Structure 1
Amino acid sequence: MFKKSHIIKTSLSKEEIIAILQTKVENFHRENSKFDFEGNVNLSGEINIKPTFDYGPREQFRPEILGKIHGNQMDLEFQLSAMMKKVLWIIILIEPLFIGFVYFKTQDKQVLLFFPFLIVFMVIFKFTFDSKVKKAITLLESYFK
């Protein structure tokens, strides 16, 4: 659900792609930085970066971008950060327990309305993640036109 693959093809060589990416990626995000991504692009063509274009309170929604450069194309995979995966699993596992506990203590049917909250939360979370992935793809593709 929170994983997306994308391939970027270009007419540039592997070395040119790496050189361009290395000018756009810094090791660690610094305040007032002009870099678009933080992470690592090594000379063998392995990519492990995160976007910094909207770094701030919502940074936890930034996708991790893992990839490999093969000739004139980049195979990319976008996924949630490890911390957000843990938070998501905790929410998914604890909410039904919470709802069950409250329901059996109060016998109030309105408590069951928490289930739609979980669904709405997941949908909003998915749209936010997809939006950030799309923005990162657009930015990466713009480097190689």
Structure 2
Amino acid sequence: MFKKSHSIKTSLSKEEIIAILQTKVENFHRDNSKFDFEGNVNLRGEINIKPTFDFGPREQFRPEILGKIHGSSIDLEFTISSFLKRLFLLIIAMEFVFVVFIYNKFEDLQVLLFFPFLLIFFLVLKFTFDSKVKKSIALLESYFK
């Protein structure tokens, strides 16, 4: 659900791609930074970055971008952080336990309405994730035109 793959094709060489990415990526985000991404792009063509274009206390739901440069092609994979994956599993488990406990105690079918709220919560997160992935893809593609 929170994973997406994308490939960018360009006419540039692997070395040129690495050089361009290294000028757009800083090691870690600093205040008032002009860089669009933080992370690492090494000389072997391995990419491990996160976008910083919407960095702030309320904008931490940003994708981790893992990738590999193969000649003139960049293969990218967008995922959520492992912390958020564990948090989502905890939320789902707690929700399930809560609903089972309440249902067994009161035997009221209205308790099952918690599941649609959980579904809506994850759909909002999915749309947010997809939006940030699209923005990251557009920004990365703009570097190689």
Q: For this structure pair, what is the TM-score category when the shorter chain's length is used for normalisation? A: over 0.9
Q: Provide the alpha-carbon RMSD of the alignment.
A: 0.9
Counterpart of 2:131? 131
The number of equivalent residue pairs is 145
Matches within 5 A, 1:8-87: 8-87=8-87
Matched to 2:70, the amino acid is H
Task: Single out whichever of 106-115 and 120-129 deviates more from structure 2.
Answer: 106-115
CA distance in 1, matches of 2:17, 2:138: 16
Percent of residue pairs bearing the same amino acid type: 75
- Which consecutive residues of structure 1, in runs of 5 or more, have no partner in the other structure? none
Report runs of 4+ in structure 1 exceeding 3 Å deviation.
none
CA distance in 2, matches of 1:132, 1:53: 10
Q: Give 1:93 deviation, angstroms.
A: 1.4
Deviations 1:1-49 (A, max 9, x none): 1110000011111000000000000000001100000000000100000
Secondary structure at 1:59 match in 2: coil
Counterpart of 1:114? 114
The alignment's TM-score, normalised by the length of structure 1, stands at: 0.97
Q: Give 1:94 deviation, angstroms.
A: 1.4
- Which consecutive residues of structure 2, in runs of 5 or more, have no partner in the other structure? none
Give the conservation status (yes or no) of the 8 Å contact 1:46–1:67.
yes
